[in-house]
Amino acid sequence: MKIKITKAIAESYARHVATTVGGLVLATAELTHHSPVSFTAGDWQLVANGLWLAAVPQIRNYVQLKDPTDAPLVNYALNEVSTKLAPEPGPAEQKEGLPTT
């Protein structure tokens, strides 16, 4: 499957990169008590480590399907969540042989 990069996608990604870098620089400056001008290589590495966050909205839009029933990942996640959220049968239900859902 080929991804078609349009002008809107590129502009959106650029906005997210700028916002992410700005936020990460401010957060790193606050945590390390350094000015962005005096960041060390490790400080810039912290900023660079968070750049993957800028791609999350584009990935979400790419993966988003019009018909979620066609998505095996969605079905897998729903099955995992539903089995973990299924209530445990209580003692009365086990004794009486009532079906549990």
More confident position, 43 or 67:
43
* pLDDT for 35 beyond 60: yes
The pLDDT score that the predictor gives to residue 25 is 93
Write out the residue range of the structural domain in which residue 87 sits: 66-101
Please tell me whether residues 100 and 71 are part of one structural domain: yes
Looking at per-residue confidence, does 18 or 97 come out higher? 18
29 and 78 belong to one structural domain: no
Task: Mark whether 21 and 55 lie in a shared domain.
Answer: yes
d(CA 93, CA 22): 56
Helix axis angle, 56-63 to 7-32, nearest 10°? 140
Q: What is the per-residue pLDDT for 22?
A: 92
- HSE of 30, CA atoms in CB hemisphere, 13 A: 6
Please state whether the predicted TM-score (pTM) of the whole model is above 0.85: no
Q: State whether 7 and 18 are in the same domain.
A: yes
Give percent of the chain above pLDDT 70: 61
- The model's confidence at residue 89, banded by pLDDT at 50, 70 and 90, is low
